[in-house]
Structure 1
Amino acid sequence: GQLSPWPTYTSGQTILQNRKPCSDDHRKRSSSWRQQSIGIAKPRYLEQLENYLRKELLLVELGKDSAQELRLQPYREIFEFFIEDFKTYKPLLSSIKNAYEVMLAHQREKIRALEPLKAKLITVNEDCNERILAMRAEEKHEISMLKKEKMKLLKLIDKKNEEKISLQSEVKKLRKNLAEEYLHYLSERDARKILITDLNELRYQREDMSLAQSPGVWGEDPVKLTLALKMTRQDLTRTQMELNTMKANFGDVVPRRDFEMQEKTNRDLQEQLDTLRADYEEVRKEHDLLLQLHMNTLKERDQYFAELQEIQRTSTPRPDWTKCEEVVAGGAERWLLLTEGKNSDQLVDVLLEEIGEGLLRGKDFFSGLGYGESVPSFLRFDGPVENKKPTRKQVIEVLKDAWKERIAEEEKEKFQDFFFNFLERRFGTSDAMAWAYTIFENIKLFRSNEVMSHFYAVLMGKTNESMHVKHLETVTQLLKEMTNVDSQNEGIITIEQFSTVLKNTFPLKKEEKIQELMEAGGWHSDGTSADVLSYRSLFMEDEEGRREPFVRKVWEQYLEEKDEYLQEIKQELGMETYDLVTLSKLRGALMSNDPSLDKQTMNTYISQAFQLSESELPEEGNEKEETIAVQLQLILDRLHVVDIRRIGPREQEPAS
C-alpha cells in the first residue's frame, strides 16, 4: 500500500510558540494540541507490520523449544519488508543488515567453537576437584596415622620415664641397704675380732696350765723358760700393734666381693640408663623428622595445588592430528605412513616439512647468498638461481650417487668442494649452481629423512663423514656375514645364526643391546616369532631412503655408545665442564678407559680434540704436553663430531 509519513506530517503542529507556560493562551494551545494528537491515527502499513510482528512473536513463544535465534526471525522479516519497500534506502539498509548478519554468524561460530572447550574445562575441573578431594582424604588419613603414632610415642616416652624413676628409686633403696649391710658387717667383724682375742687368751692359759702340769717341764731351765715367755710376749705385743694398725687402716674398707657385686649392679643400671637415653633421643629425632616431613608434605601440597590452578588456567586442548589427513598430499594413508611411531614434536616437524615442500615447489627462483666468508663454498653466487623442483626420490638418488663416488675417491678433498664438483660432473657447469641451491634447500627442509639429514650434517660440518662411512661399512659387513652363513643362498637364516652374527660383528655389545637388535630384526622374546629370519629384508629401503628398523637401531645404538664412551672419558678425567684439560691428561684418560686403543687411533682422537695435525702432536712424555690445554666441554664437542668408539674392553683380560 501507500506509505504514510506519519507522524512527520504533524511536526509543524507540534511546534509551540514562545509563550509563558502559565498564561491562559499557553494552556489553550496545549489542550488543543493534545486533542489533535489523540485524533491522529497510525498509518495502515505500520499497523500491519506491528500486527504481523506480534503474531509471529506469539507463535514463537508458544513453541516449547523457542530459541533466541527463532525470536530474531520475525524482526529479520520486518526489516526485509522495510528494505524492499524503501527503494531509496535499500542499499544502506541492506549493508546494515548484512553487517549485523556477519557479526551474528561470527558470534555463533565463536560460541560453537568455545562449547567443547567449556565442556573440557568442566571435565578437567571435576577431575581436578576429585583429585584434590582424594589428596585431602589421603592427607587426612596420613595426618591421623601420624597423630596416632605421636600419641603412641608419647606413651612410650612416659613409660620409659616411669621406668627410669622406678630404677632411680631402686638404686636409692639398694644404696641404703648397702649402707645397713656395711654397718652390720662392721659390727660382726669387731665382734669376731674380740672373740678371736678371747680364744687366743684362753688357748694361751690352757697351754700355760698344761706346761705347768706336765712332768717334763720341771726339768727345763727356768731361765730359758723365762726368756721364751718374754720373747713370746714381745711377739704378742708386736702382733697386737700390727693388728691395731690394720684395724686403723682398713676398718672402713668394704669386702671386695660386695664391692664387685655393687659395681656390677651399678654398671648394669648405668647401661640401662644409657639405653633409655639413646631410645629417648632416637624417638625425639624421629618425632622431629616426622614433623619436618609433615611440613614438607604441606608445602608440596600447596605447591601442587598452585601448579594445578596454573595448569587449569593455561591448559590448552591437545591437537587433533587427524585433521591433517585431508590437507597432506596422499590422504589418510600417506599421513598414517608419515606419522607412524612419532610423537607430537616429530609430527610438527613432519607437518612443517609438508608445508615447506609446498612452498618450495611454488618457488621458481632462489636468491643467491653472495660471496661472503660465512656462505658455504658451494653456494657462493650472486643473483637469482633457478629452482629445478626435483622430487624427493630424485634428490635421494643424487645423494646416494654422491656417497658412492665419495667413498671410491682416492684423494680426499673438502666435502663441500667435492659436492660442487660432483654436481658439475653430473649436471654440467651451467646447471651445477642451480642444483646446489635446490638440493641444499631440500635437505635443509626434510630433516626427518635419514639420507638427507645425514648428508646435511656432513655438508655443514656438524658431523664428520667418517661416521656415515663407518655406518655403511658396518651395514655392509652385517649383510656379508649373514650371506656367508646362508650356505644355501635362500635368503633365510635361523635365529641362532642371526644372534651369532651379531655377537661376532659387535663383540663389545652387552647382551641387552644384542636383544634389542634381534627384536628390531623381528625376533620376540616371548617366543611368538618364527625360528627362521629373512635377513635380506632387514637391509631394504623404500624410494625415499627410509631404512628398516634394524638398520636404524644399529645407528641409534652407535650414537648411544658414543655418548657413553665420551661420558666415561669425562668421568675418568674427574673434572668440571669448564676446567682445562692438558694433552697428557687426555692421553692418560683414553688409555685408562680403553687399554686396547692403538697409538694411531689415539693420535687421531687427540688431534681432533686439540685441533692439531698429527705431525704437530708432541711425543708422549714430552714437557710440551702440559702446555697444551683446552676446556673439557670443547674437547667433548669436538670428539662428538667424529667417529669415536671403544676398541676393546675397559679392563684387559689376564693372560691364560
Structure 2
Amino acid sequence: MANPETHYRSFSKSRTRTQSSGGTAEAKDVERRKLSQKRRTLPLQLSIGGHLSPWPTYTSGQTILHKRKPCSEDRRSRTNSWQQQPLGTSKPRYLEQLENYLRKELLLLDLGTDSAQELRLQPYREIFEFFIEDFKTYKPLLSSIKNAYEVMLAHQREKIRALEPLKAKIVTMNEDCSERILAMRAEERYEISSLKKEKMNLLKLIDKKNEEKISLQSEVTKLRKSLAAEYLRYLTERDARKILIGDLNELRYQREDMSLAQSPGVWGEDPVKLTLALKMTRQDLTRTQMELNTMKANFGDVVPRRDFEMQEKTNMDLQEQLESLRADYEEVRKEHEMLLQLHMSTLKERDQFHFELQEIQRTSTPRPDWTKCEGIIVGGPERWLMLAEGKNSDQLVDVLLEEIGSGLLREKDFFPGLGFGESVPSFLRFDGSVENKKPSKKEVVNLLEDAWKERLAEEQKESFQDFFFNFLERRFGISDAIAWAYTIFENIKLFRSSEIMSQFYAVLMGKMTESVYINQRETLSHLLKEMTNVDTQNEGLITMEQFSTIIKNTFPLKKEEQIQELMDAAGWGPDSSSVEVFNYQILFTEDEEGQSEPFVQKLWEQYNSEKEAYLQELKQDLGLDLQDEVTLLKVRGALMNNDPSLDKQTLSAYLSQAFQIPVAELPLEDEEKQEEIVVKLETVLEQLRMADTKRVGPREPEPAS
C-alpha cells in the first residue's frame, strides 16, 4: 500500500501544473483522472480495517451493539473488535488524515490572485468525492447534492462574467456624466457673469440715453418758443406792410385827382377820353406798384457785398467769442452746481449740528452724573457700562426707565384685569387678578419670534390680536393664556429699545401694519441671497465693490450719502479702505435679546426717514394744512404726480389704506364718487404712515422754463 504523504505530494504537483496551464480542457481532464485514482486509493489507505469508525459516538454505540442481535459472523467479529478497543474519545485516523490533507492543500493555494476563492473550493470538492466513494449507500444522494451545487455555481459564474462588462460601462458612463455636469456648471457660471456685465453696460447706456433725452427736450422747448416769437413778428410785419401799401395807393389817387382838377386845360378835353386815359394810367400805376412791391419784397434785405463781407467777418469773430464764452460758462456752471451741492450739504450739517447743539444745551444743563446709576442697576458697573455704550442722555434715560420698570415688573405677582370694555384690546379682556409669569427678556424675545414665524407661515385670515391670543392658548393652554397675554403685553410696553418688542407692540396695538415687518424681513433675506450668490466660493466673504454694487442694485433710489451710511454701518468706512473682504453673514445676526447689528438698524432708520420725506412731499403737492379735508380724487392725483411709477395695484393699496376702504369698493373709474369721499389730511397721512408706504420710482424732473 502506497504512503499517503507520497500520494499527497504527487497530487499537489499535478494540481499546481494544472493551475499554471491557465485552466484549459486538457488540464481539467488530467485533474479528473488523477482525482479518480486518488478516489480509488485514498479511502482504502485512510480507513481502519476497511470500515468507517463511529467516532465520537463509538462508546455509546458499544452499548447498543451489545443489546442488538448479531446477524452474521462478520457483524459479531466487528463488534468484538470494537469491544477490544480502548474507551478513549480520540479522533479516528481516517478523519485526522483527511483534515491534514485539507490543511496542506489550503496552505499551497495562492490567496493573492483573483481566482483564489475559486481554487479554495477545490480541496473541499476532493474531500466530498472521497465521502461519496466511501459511503456507497448514500452515493446517489450525495452525488445529486454535489451536482446541484456545481450547476448553481456555474450559473452564478456565468452571471458574474456577463455583468462585468456592464460594470465597466457604468463606471465609464459615470465619469462621462460627471465631466458633462462640470462643463455645464462652468458654462453656466461664464454665462451668468457675461449677462451681469451686459446688464451693467445696458444700465449705463440707459442712463446716458436718459440724459441725452432730457437735454434734447430742453433744446426743443427753447426752439419752439423762438419759432413762435419769429412767427408772430413776421405776421405783424406782413399785416403792417399791406396796410401801408393800401394807404400809399389811396394817397396817390387823391393827389392825381387833385392835380387833374386844378389843371386849366383839362376842361377843354373830351371827358370820355380823359376817363379812358385815367383808367389806363391807373392800371399802369397798379402794375408798376406791384412790380415795385415785388422788387422791394425780394431785394429789400439785400445789402452791398462789401457790407456783407464785413458783417460776415464780424459774425465769425463774435461766434468764436461766443464759443469761448460758452465753454467758460459751462465750467462756471459746473463749479456753481458743485458749490450749490457743497452749500446744501453744509447747510444740512449746519442744521444737524445746530439741532445737536440745542439738544446738548437742553440736556446738558446741568450735566447728569450717570455713574450714580451703577449702584442701582442690577449687575453693577459692568452691566451699566455695557448698557450705556454709545448712547446719548435721552437714550440713557430710556435705558434707566426700562431697568427701573423691569425691577418693578418683577416685584409684581399679579396684574389687575382691565375688564370687558370696548376700548380694552380683545386679548386683555378679563375681570379679576391675573398672575405675573415673570419671564426673562430672552424668553419673551424667543416667544415673539415663534409667534412671528407661525403668523407668517399661516394664511392671515384672523386679526393680529385674535391670532396672538390663539397662539398663547396653543402654547400654554386655555387656563394660562390670559396670564401670559398680560405678562407679555406689560413687557413689550416697557422695553421700547428692543426692536422686536417695539415692532410687535406697534402691530399688536394697530399703530403699524404687518406689511412693514414682512417687508423688512423680505428685504433682509433678499440682501443675504444676493450676497450669497456673489460668494461663489461659499466662504462667507465678499469685497467692498461687490457689497456696494448689491446695495445700489437693491436700493436704486437711495442717494450716495445713504449708501455711504450703510457701508459705514457695515464696518466699511473711510478708515477701513485697506480691508479687502469681510464676512457679510455677521451683518444679519441677532443677539440673544433680539437686537440686530448696526447695518440692519441703519436700514430701518433710513426706511422711516424715507417714508416721512415721501409723506411730506405728498402734503406739499396737496398744498393743504393738516386739519383741512381732502378728497380721494385729490389724493390719487397727488400720489400719481409725486410718484409717476406707481402701478395700479400699489396705488389702490395706498388709497385703501389712507381712506380705510376695501380695494374692491374703491370708485377708481367714477370721479364724482371720488369727490364725495372726504377725510382730513392728518388722518390720511397717519394711515399711510402706519403702512408699508414707500416711493416706487424716481420723481420726474420739472421741464425747464
Q: Give the TM-score normalised by structure 1.
A: 0.51
Q: Is residue 436 from structure 1 mapped to residue 469 from structure 2 by the alignment? A: no
Q: Is residue 359 from structure 1 mapped to residue 408 from structure 2 by the alignment? A: yes
The CA deviation at 1:639 is: 0.7
The CA deviation at 1:625 is: 1.1
1:523–1:529 CA contact under 8 A, matched in 2: no
Which of 589, 592, 606 pairs up with 1:540? 589
Shift of the 563–315 alpha-carbon distance from structure 1 to 2, 3 Å rule, reads: closer
**Equivalents in 2 of 1:340, 1:527: separation in Å?**
22
**Equivalents in 2 of 1:558, 1:412: separation in Å?**
28
**Equivalents in 2 of 1:614, 1:568: separation in Å?**
24
**Equivalents in 1 of 2:491, 2:674: separation in Å?**
45
Q: Is residue 468 from structure 1 mapped to residue 520 from structure 2 by the alignment? A: no
Q: How does 1:361-440 map to 2 (within 5 A)?
A: 361-440=410-489
The CA deviation at 1:653 is: 12
Q: Is residue 318 from structure 1 mapped to residue 367 from structure 2 by the alignment? A: yes
Which of 500, 507, 524 pairs up with 1:451? 500
**Equivalents in 2 of 1:547, 1:604: separation in Å?**
30
**Equivalents in 1 of 2:658, 2:528: separation in Å?**
33
Which of 393, 396, 399 pairs up with 1:350? 399
1:495–1:523 CA contact under 8 A, matched in 2: yes
Partner residue, 1:501: 550
**Equivalents in 2 of 1:609, 1:320: separation in Å?**
46
Partner residue, 2:600: 551
Q: How does 1:228-627 map to 2 (within 5 A)?
A: 317-627=366-676
Give 3-state SS (helix, strand or coil) of 1:432's partner: helix
The CA deviation at 1:622 is: 2.6
The CA deviation at 1:577 is: 2.1
Write the deviation string for residues 147-174 of structure 1: whole angstroms up to 9, x where unpaired. xxxxxxxxxxxxxxxxxxxxxxxxxxxx
Partner residue, 1:77: none
1:522–1:529 CA contact under 8 A, matched in 2: no
Give 3-state SS (helix, strand or coil) of 2:415's partner: strand
1:378–1:419 CA contact under 8 A, matched in 2: yes
The CA deviation at 1:343 is: 1.6
Give 3-state SS (helix, strand or coil) of 2:574's partner: coil
The CA deviation at 1:445 is: 0.7
**Equivalents in 2 of 1:637, 1:460: separation in Å?**
15
Partner residue, 1:186: none
**Equivalents in 1 of 2:609, 2:668: separation in Å?**
32
**Equivalents in 1 of 2:558, 2:482: separation in Å?**
45
**Equivalents in 2 of 1:329, 1:580: separation in Å?**
52
Partner residue, 2:37: none
1:378–1:420 CA contact under 8 A, matched in 2: yes
**Equivalents in 2 of 1:511, 1:458: separation in Å?**
32
The size of the alignment, in residue pairs, is 343
1:583–1:606 CA contact under 8 A, matched in 2: yes
**Equivalents in 2 of 1:528, 1:494: separation in Å?**
11
Q: How does 1:111-260 map to 2 (within 5 A)?
A: none
The CA deviation at 1:609 is: 1.1
Write the deviation string for residues 371-395 of structure 1: whole angstroms up to 9, x where unpaired. 1111100001111111111000000
**Equivalents in 1 of 2:445, 2:499: separation in Å?**
10
Shift of the 488–556 alpha-carbon distance from structure 1 to 2, 3 Å rule, reads: same
Amino acid at match of 1:489: N
Amino acid at match of 2:650: T
The CA deviation at 1:353 is: 0.8
**Equivalents in 1 of 2:378, 2:576: separation in Å?**
40
Shift of the 390–589 alpha-carbon distance from structure 1 to 2, 3 Å rule, reads: same
The CA deviation at 1:351 is: 0.7
Shift of the 495–315 alpha-carbon distance from structure 1 to 2, 3 Å rule, reads: closer
The CA deviation at 1:510 is: 1.1
**Equivalents in 1 of 2:668, 2:685: separation in Å?**
22
The CA deviation at 1:564 is: 0.7
Give 3-state SS (helix, strand or coil) of 1:607's partner: helix
The CA deviation at 1:580 is: 1.7
Partner residue, 1:172: none
**Equivalents in 2 of 1:412, 1:648: separation in Å?**
31
Amino acid at match of 1:602: L
**Equivalents in 1 of 2:686, 2:534: separation in Å?**
40
**Equivalents in 2 of 1:410, 1:315: separation in Å?**
51
The CA deviation at 1:576 is: 2.1
Q: Point out 4+ residue stretches in structure 1 off by more than 6 angstroms.
A: none
The CA deviation at 1:355 is: 0.9
Amino acid at match of 2:663: E
**Equivalents in 2 of 1:430, 1:315: separation in Å?**
50
Amino acid at match of 1:515: Q
The CA deviation at 1:608 is: 1.2
The CA deviation at 1:533 is: 1.5
Partner residue, 2:107: none
Q: Give the TM-score normalised by structure 2.
A: 0.47
Partner residue, 1:649: 698
**Equivalents in 2 of 1:452, 1:479: separation in Å?**
23
**Equivalents in 1 of 2:385, 2:424: separation in Å?**
38
The CA deviation at 1:434 is: 0.7
Amino acid at match of 2:368: P
The CA deviation at 1:344 is: 1.3
Write the deviation string for residues 566-596 of structure 1: whole angstroms up to 9, x where unpaired. 0111111122222221111111111111111
Partner residue, 1:196: none
**Equivalents in 2 of 1:465, 1:338: separation in Å?**
30
Give 3-state SS (helix, strand or coil) of 1:581's partner: strand
Give 3-state SS (helix, strand or coil) of 1:461's partner: coil
User: What runs of 5+ residues in structure 2 fail to find an aligned partner?
Assistant: 1-360
Partner residue, 1:296: none
Amino acid at match of 1:552: Q
Write the deviation string for residues 208-243 of structure 1: whole angstroms up to 9, x where unpaired. xxxxxxxxxxxxxxxxxxxxxxxxxxxxxxxxxxxx
**Equivalents in 1 of 2:476, 2:455: separation in Å?**
17
**Equivalents in 1 of 2:470, 2:635: separation in Å?**
38
**Equivalents in 1 of 2:458, 2:426: separation in Å?**
20
**Equivalents in 2 of 1:529, 1:358: separation in Å?**
46
**Equivalents in 2 of 1:576, 1:428: separation in Å?**
51
Partner residue, 2:677: 628
The CA deviation at 1:528 is: 4.4
**Equivalents in 2 of 1:522, 1:653: separation in Å?**
38
User: What fraction of aligned residue pairs are identical, expressed as a percent?
Assistant: 70
Write the deviation string for residues 505-543 of structure 1: whole angstroms up to 9, x where unpaired. 111111111111011001112454512121011111111
**Equivalents in 1 of 2:437, 2:678: separation in Å?**
48
User: What runs of 5+ residues in structure 1 fail to find an aligned partner?
Assistant: 1-310
The CA deviation at 1:620 is: 3.1
**Equivalents in 1 of 2:573, 2:671: separation in Å?**
55
